[in-house]
Amino acid sequence: MVKDKPTLYSRLFKELNLFLFFIVFNILTINTYAQLKDNLIKGKVSYISSQNIYVKFENTSGMQNGDSLYISRNNILIPIVKIISLSSVSCIGSLIGTNSILISTPLYGKISTVVKQELLIQKELKESISLNDQAINQINKPLEKKVVKSEIEGRIALSTYSMLSGSTVDQRYRYNLSLNGHHINESKFSFESYASLTHKSNEFHLIRTELNKYLKVYSLALKYDVSQSVNLTFGRKINLNMANVGAIDGIHFEINKKNFIYGAVIGSHPDFYDYRFNMNLMQVGIFAVHTIQNERVNMQTSLAIFDQMNKFKTDRRFTYFQHSNSITKRIDLFCSFEFDFYTLKNLQPKNTFELTSTYLSIRYKPWNKLSIYASYDARKNIYYYETFKNQIDSIIDKETRQGFRFQFNYRAAKFLIIGGSGGYRFQKSDPSPSLNGYNYITYSQLPLILSSITISTTLLKSSYLDGIVYGISLSRDIINGKVYGELQYRQVKYSYKNSNSTLKQDIIEMSLSWRIAKKLTMTANYEATHEADNNYSRIYVSLIHRFGGISTKPYFRKAKKPTEL
């Protein structure tokens, strides 16, 4: 009997298993753990949206995207927020796990902490094209005049993503460039830009002839400050006060006056298929924002009216309303609505007043160890130009986003946290309601190896499938402040109702993040999936270099120091 020759996949699989064993060995055999003694940067939560956390600092020097922010409990620093976007004095982040947090909560950043960066490439994309919640961050800025400095900053990211199945290798490359200039050469002009070039290994020669297919420009705009309170922006930009509309190619006008922000925009929407400039999709809009911030109240309300056209004929006219309010120190409320009052149905114009988008959320913290969160989501689904989520994560993301949701987390002991969430969704298009649940338990100081361990269970029941996912993950610093690693195992058992077929998977995932230098980071992620009749794996490697941020003398005259949020 002649044995088959080893396939490319099997060879790579063996090599990666050896690599995996090496990392596990390091994690499990390091018995001493020195606490980081880096300088801490203290900040404060300035706003909480439906998806993101906004934190204000005096400066963010030494921190970078992917770092963790910590909350101090009993003199122990616990990671609670992961940074996804940074400016010189603030950051935007997402909650880690199912934690909850309140406005004005002090958070701390460790200058040299390195944390896991996710496998999914579209999360980098979200920094520039999914800025809906950043609108609140813009609104929350202190209205006092500030010192504005001249600086240029940017980021270059080189990434490769490989899908291996049998002897087949599907490899993709991605090059990102973000470059922003604030008051160029101490003038009234600033600019922002973000672009991404993506192609498969066998498509490089097609880029020149099909550039729109491979190159996406998500932001390219020039801003002119008429005064400290009035500015004009030209080009492609997501207006943070109307971020729900998305990117606009055109002219943006904005006035800041005391507690109010007024503005207008005229331009066109990028093409829905390849994101190129499309004059047929004209749109105009106006907006107003009111903010109240003091020691007792943190409230903001925004209203926008928009007219969207196709070939210079209106096909949708709607208004967008958003409100947030810290009712008490323990209760936070957020809501947003969209109302259509002109639309086309069956190519016929119709005046209407129809609620087309709703989101409501409330957070309540009855005491320090317990947090409760409830929400209702009836917004439209998000469609990505490209996504690299695996099958299970795509299903969970789709089935749990909309509908009613309840969530809690409770600190049962010094290092022990338990939590869970449950969701219910029923749409007209669904034959039956969709139910989902997630439970987890985390112990942050595992004896001997001083690592964090999380055990979780995810349940999902919809009109077309029933399933359960068991998971366990282990994470810790391998080389303090330089290399961080995480090892995760998931077992998937799903059954499809209509076809009587089943999906059973064993998924092993390993992540490493290495801070090579202060502004240079490399991340790597390996995921292996085993099925009864199929094995495949995915590898993601990224090298990120940040540059710039050098300031010169202030452009505006020194103004009153802004009040701390």
Amino acid 383: pLDDT: 53
Q: Which residue has the higher pLDDT, 234 or 204?
A: 234
What pLDDT is recorded for position 448?
81
pLDDT at 62 over 90: no
Q: What pLDDT was estimated at residue 37?
A: 35
Q: What's the confidence (pLDDT) of residue 100?
A: 65
Q: Which two tokens stand for residue 125?
A: 């994309």
Q: Answer yes or no: is pLDDT of 181 > 50.
A: yes
Per-residue pLDDT of 502-546, as tens digits, reads: 888 899 999 999 989 888 999 999 999 998 888 889 999 999 998
Choice between 108 and 226, residue whose per-residue pLDDT is larger: 226
* C-beta contacts of 161-164 below 8 A and 24+ residues apart: 161/121, 161/388, 161/538, 161/539, 161/540, 162/538, 162/539, 162/540, 163/536, 163/537, 163/538, 164/8, 164/9, 164/12, 164/13, 164/536, 164/537, 164/538, 164/539
pLDDT of residue 177: 94
pLDDT surpasses 70 at 274: yes
Mean of per-residue pLDDT scores for the chain: 77
Model pLDDT for residues 13-29, shown as the tens digit of each residue: 554 554 444 444 444 43
Q: Does residue 343 register a pLDDT over 90?
A: no
Q: How confident is the model at residue 286 (pLDDT cuts 50, 70, 90)?
A: very high
What's residue 15's pLDDT? 47
Whole-prediction pTM:
0.66
Residue 125 has φ and ψ, to the nearest 5°, of -60, -35
| Three-class secondary structure of residue 257 per DSSP | strand
At 560 the pLDDT is 35
Instruction: State yes or no: pLDDT of 487 exceeds 70.
Output: yes
Distance in angstroms (rounded) separating the CA atoms of residues 120 and 213: 20
Between CA 461 and CA 500 the distance in angstroms is 15
Tell me how crowded residue 110 is: count the other CB atoms within 10 A of its CB: 22
Instruction: Give the tens place of pLDDT for each residue, 86-116.
Output: 766 778 887 875 566 777 788 888 764 333 3
